[in-house]
Amino acid sequence: MATPDFIREIRATAGHQLLLLPGVSAVVFDDEGRVLLGRRADTGTWSIIGGIPEPGEEPAVTAVREVYEETAVQCVAERVVLVQALRKPVTYPNGDQCQFMDICIRCRAVGGQARVNDDESLEVGWFSADALPELKEFALFRIKQAQTEGPAWFQPTIEQ
């Protein structure tokens, strides 16, 4: 994932310390019910599309922007699928530490042809739900939740 300029500016003074950051992931379906996936350049693994919002950017706008930037697919945001604090911080090769609050948005493709559109993906493509490539639980859970018509999922409060 390319690091946004505003994060680089924060890192100039914050160093590698843990930052809590918003993240937006998008589960994009086409008219055939297939899901759009990208094979990430940083890990080589397949996943749903996602990124970090720019300051002041709405999550749905982030989802639509990230999908287009990474895959050349135009989409519209339909609904919030889930909000989840990711429990494990990520440590990048340069030592930067981040922990993300993910907002997952279900989207519908409305145009464009799926292709690698930036340097964040090695491949992109449409996959039917019964023929998905190997995916981490992060992506599988979001795809499953996006296929339901229920309310947005969130972790129930844990009493202490």
pLDDT digits (tens, 9 = 90+) for 28-74: 999 999 999 999 998 899 999 999 999 999 999 999 999 999 999 99
Q: What is the per-residue pLDDT across 110-151, written as a single tens digit (0 to 9) for each?
A: 999 999 999 999 999 999 999 999 999 999 999 999 999 988
**What is the chain's mean pLDDT, rounded?**
94
pLDDT of residue 93: 87
160: confidence class by pLDDT, cuts 50, 70, 90: low
Query: In the predicted model, is pLDDT for residue 159 greater than 80?
Result: no
pLDDT of residue 91: 92
Q: Which of 104, 84, 91 is nearest to 146 (CA)?
A: 104
Query: In the predicted model, is pLDDT for residue 1 greater than 60?
Result: no
- Domain layout of the chain by residue ranges: 23-146
pLDDT of residue 114: 98
CATH class of 23-146: alpha beta
Q: What is the per-residue pLDDT across 72-97, written as a single tens digit (0 to 9) for each?
A: 999 999 999 999 999 899 898 899 99
What is the average per-residue pLDDT within 90-108?
95
Whether this model's pTM surpasses 0.75: yes
Cα dihedral: 96, 7, 80, 74 (round 10): -110
pLDDT of residue 26: 98
CB atoms within 10 A of CB 35: 22
What is residue 134's DSSP assignment?
A: -
What is d(CA 61, CA 76) in angstroms, rounded to the nearest whole number?
9
